[in-house]
């Protein structure tokens, strides 16, 4: 089977290796020719996933048409801010009913990323794959479980077979809204968990952020049409746990640096990869206002990132809110 991977960062590379090791012919697209040349020369992504050698059946290309033409599955793994631009580039090469499965986690304003792809590539059959899955661990065959969501049961089951291995277990779901929102919004909460650790707070604080964060994500998700039970699954609580507790998480790492007093621009430069939670905080804050949903942690994350609020003052604001029942 020919599979196209659009995006050659850590996650796109990890998926290319996984799918190539299953015997597929994998074409991985990079947005810069010099990056394509480097990947083909090194047969390894030394910048984003060092130490993982490419199987021979991974072909790296800067030619979008070469990658997409005839592919049974197109896997998109670009940073969320690049979603629409990439979708526009892809649109003319995607045939009717061609399957796209998006791995990126984020929002574009009020829109989920699958909605962006649907606007730009209406002829495609669009699904999403999400869950607790560090690229570094997946590429080393550390046991991982994820969920693939589609509005069509047959598509979800087909993709389940495409991706599943003895080290990468895939479940199916029909709740695209919930799976996408869980994957996007957890990045904001993970950023807050990192800030908490950077401030020197303990496990109690982080546990509170995770559990109350799930409550916020669930409230907002249900208001947007998701199934509440999705947020107790892999793409909700599962993804939040791994992102909010691991130094492999760029969102946690960025938050920790902010908690230690580093300014946002310096943090983003130091982390080197896109910190999705920084962009998503703005969209999540706006969605809470739009749907009339109380999201106090997300609001304070937004205030710290964009309004200059000191993280300790943000914590105090959260802790001294009006009394509530759980």
Just list the catalytic residues: 186
SS3 call for 56:
coil
Residue 210 near residue 196 (C-beta atoms within 8 A): no
CB 174 within 8 A of CB 154: no
Distance CA 296, CA 281 (A): 12
List of residues 6+ apart from 303 with CB closer than 8 A: 309, 314
Measured in degrees and rounded to the nearest 5, phi and psi for residue 42 equal -80, -25
**What number of helices (H) and strands (E) belong to the chain?**
15, 12
Find out whether 41 and 31 touch, Cβ atoms under 8 Å.
Answer: no
* 178: number of Cβ within 10 Å: 28
Q: Calculate helix-pair angle for 276-291, 176-199, nearest 10 degrees.
A: 120
Backbone angles phi, psi at 224, to 5 degrees: -95, 5
Q: Three-state SS for 97? A: coil
CA distance 301 to 281: 7
What CA dihedral angle connects 240, 234, 46 and 193, to 10 degrees?
10
Angle at 229 (CA atoms; ends 221, 134), nearest 5 degrees: 80
């Amino acid at each position: 089977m020919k599979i196209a991977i659009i995006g050659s960062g850590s996650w796109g590379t990890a998926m290319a290796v996984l799918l190539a090791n299953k015997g597929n012919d994998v074409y991985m697209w990079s947005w810069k020719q010099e990056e394509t040349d480097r990947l083909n020369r090194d047969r390894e992504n030394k910048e984003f996933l060092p130490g993982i050698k490419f199987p021979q059946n991974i072909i790296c290309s800067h030619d979008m048409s070469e990658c997409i033409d005839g592919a049974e599955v197109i896997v998109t793994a670009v940073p969320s801010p690049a979603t629409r631009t990439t979708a526009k580039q892809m649109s003319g090469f995607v045939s009717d009913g061609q399957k796209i499965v998006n791995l990126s986690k984020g929002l574009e304003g009020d829109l989920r990323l699958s909605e962006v792809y649907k606007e730009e590539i209406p002829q495609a059959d669009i699904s999403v794959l999400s869950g607790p899955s560090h690229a570094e661990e997946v590429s080393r065959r550390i046991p991982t479980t994820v969920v693939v969501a589609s509005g069509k049961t047959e598509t979800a089951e087909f993709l389940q077979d495409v991706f599943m291995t003895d080290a990468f277990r895939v479940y199916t779901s029909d709740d695209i809204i919930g799976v996408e929102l869980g994957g996007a919004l957890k990045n904001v909460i993970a950023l807050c968990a990192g800030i908490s650790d950077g401030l020197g707070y303990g496990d109690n604080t982080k546990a509170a952020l995770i559990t109350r964060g799930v409550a916020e994500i669930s409230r907002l998700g249900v208001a947007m049409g998701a199934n509440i039970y999705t947020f107790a699954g892999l793409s909700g609580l599962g993804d939040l746990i791994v992102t909010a507790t691991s130094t492999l998480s760029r969102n946690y790492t960025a938050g920790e640096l902010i908690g230690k007093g580093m300014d946002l621009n310096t943090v983003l430069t130091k982390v080197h990869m896109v910190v999705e939670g920084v962009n998503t905080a703005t969209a999540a804050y706006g969605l809470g206002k739009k749907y009339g949903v109380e999201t106090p942690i997300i609001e304070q994350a937004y205030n710290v990132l964009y309004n200059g609020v000191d993280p300790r003052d943000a914590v105090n604001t959260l802790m001294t809110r009006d009394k509530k029942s759980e």
